[in-house]
Amino acid sequence: MSSSTLPAALQNPDPAATYQAAYDALSKAYWGASDLSNKDMIHSAQEGIHDIITALNEQKLASNTELFIQLNPKIKAVNVALQKIKDEIAQITKNINTASAVTSAITKVLSCWP
């Protein structure tokens, strides 16, 4: 019997998706928690889940070198476009808050992918 014919409860789920669903559910629970102690407990669990999801996602990319190689030219092209927007942001928008937010976001991206 293939996994696609098994009931959903018996199929082997994607661990990252499973953790994400738990994280999302905890987010709702956090706002409904009755006291600070419960909120702290939920937040602590969310931090651990975030670390797991991050590690799982990094493992997927690291184990799929071919995907990264294929993605690299697109990353470089997008980064060139982002740098241009960053350089010209004063002409693109006169809203200082928007310009600042765009510049900050682009700087973060470019620092991750030189």
Which residue in 77, 103, 74, 107 sits closest to 88, CA to CA? Answer: 103
Q: Are 83 and 67 in contact (CB under 8 A)?
A: no
pLDDT tens-place string over residues 44-87: 889 988 988 888 888 777 777 776 677 788 888 998 899 899 88
Q: Computed from CA positions of residues 92, 93, 94, 99, in that sequence, does the dihedral angle turn out positive or negative?
A: negative
Structural domain boundaries in the chain: 1-63, 65-114
The pTM for the full model equals 0.52
The whole-angstrom separation of Cα 51 and Cα 53 is 6
pLDDT tens-place string over residues 13-55: 677 888 888 888 988 888 877 778 888 888 988 998 898 888 8
Please classify residue 33 by burial: count the beta carbons closer than 10 Å to its beta carbon, then call 0-12 exposed, 13-18 middle and 19+ buried.
middle
